[in-house]
Amino acid sequence: GNGETTAEEKKELTIGATSGPYSDMVTKGIKPVLEKKGYTVEVVEFSDYIQPNLALASGDLDANLFQHKVYMESFAEEHDLELSEVIVVPTAPMGIYSNRFDSLDAIEEGSQIAVPNDPTNLARALLILESEGLITLASSFDPLTASERDVEENVKNLEFKPIEAGQLPRAVEGTDLAAVPGNYALAAKMNLLDALVLETMPDKYRNRVVVNTRDLDKPFVQDIKEAVESEEFEAVIDEEFKGFGKPEWMLERNKE
């Protein structure tokens, strides 16, 4: 990204996203619209949740798409960055899956649960478990640094096994329970409805396009926002990202 060129002239965008549906979403949904607007867009894929923000802050990226609001805010605070969201995009809900148990009630004492090892996804997993009453979380819980240590009360004494998020669909078979992020579940052709429980996702846990706050008023940010709001984008979502939970703005628009 050429952060130094003046806003008016900026027609070359570098957008970062994590490997999988979110980079596909950029490539297939956002990039074509932006290109029509005369931009050239380069999509950079990351297999990690730290680098996309650092790269954004350093100006190597103009925007990224991989994180939810809570993570963004904590990250910005921790690293003393000025990050701002542009628009929320459809996000696949995380689910707790199991080949052993049919329902949450059936979970046995001391079962093993595979959870993501990165804090973003782990936080979501913990929140599901908390909302289902399986655990309670410490007051110090912070999505940025969430870890299995934040569990205060563990009703069924679940044994947490943090593993790489992309590996979780493959872990369903080998462990008692697995908290699988929706994007990977879909990639692995799992049926989201097989989940014992799916994330009820408030918008603050949906992923969004994020830019540096200093860029917020620049035309390209507006253009990205417009691209996401375009009909074409939603058509791509309906076509290729089945099962992704749409954000409120999209649902509301459709209601009209």
Partner 1 sequence: MLLDRLAELVPELNQAFLETMYMVSISLAVAIMGGLPLGILLFVTDRGLFLENPVVKSAAGFVVNMVRSVPFIILLVALLPFTRWLTGTTIGPTAASVSLSIAAIPFFARIVESSLREIDRGVIEAAISVGASPWMIIKDVLLPDARPGIIHGITITTISLVGYSAMAGIVGGGGIGDLAIRFGYYRYDNTIMITTVVILICLVQLIQFLGDRIARLTDKR
Please give the residue ranges that form the binding site for partner 1 (CB under 8 A): 16, 19-20, 23-24, 44-51, 54-55, 58, 60-61, 78, 114, 117-119, 144-145, 147, 161-164, 166-167, 169-171, 173-175, 184, 187-189
Closest distance to partner 1 from the beta carbon of 138 (Å): 14
Nearest CB to partner 1, comparing residues 1 and 245? 1
User: Which tokens go with 243?
Assistant: 């099962």
Q: Which is nearer to partner 1, 75 or 250 (CB)?
A: 75
How many residues are given for the chain?
256
Strand partners, 67: 208
C-beta of 118: minimal distance to partner 1 in Å? 5
Residue 60: which of 79, 44, 76, 38 has the closest Cα? 44
CB of 180 to partner 1, least distance (A): 13
Query: For residues 66 and 250, which CB has a smaller minimum distance to partner 1 in the complex?
Result: 66
Nearer to partner 1 by Cβ, of 166 and 247: the residue is 166
Nearest CB to partner 1, comparing residues 48 and 194: 48
Q: How far apart are CA 234 and CA 200, in angstroms?
A: 21
Measured from the CB atom, the residue of 118 and 215 that comes closer to partner 1 is: 118
CB atoms within 10 A of CB 164: 15
Q: How far is the CB of 229 from partner 1 (least distance, A)?
A: 26
Distance of CA 37 to the CA centre of its chain: 27
Task: Return phi, psi of residue 120, to 5°.
Answer: -55, -55
CB of 22 to partner 1, least distance (A): 10
Minimum CB distance to partner 1, residue 14 (Å): 8
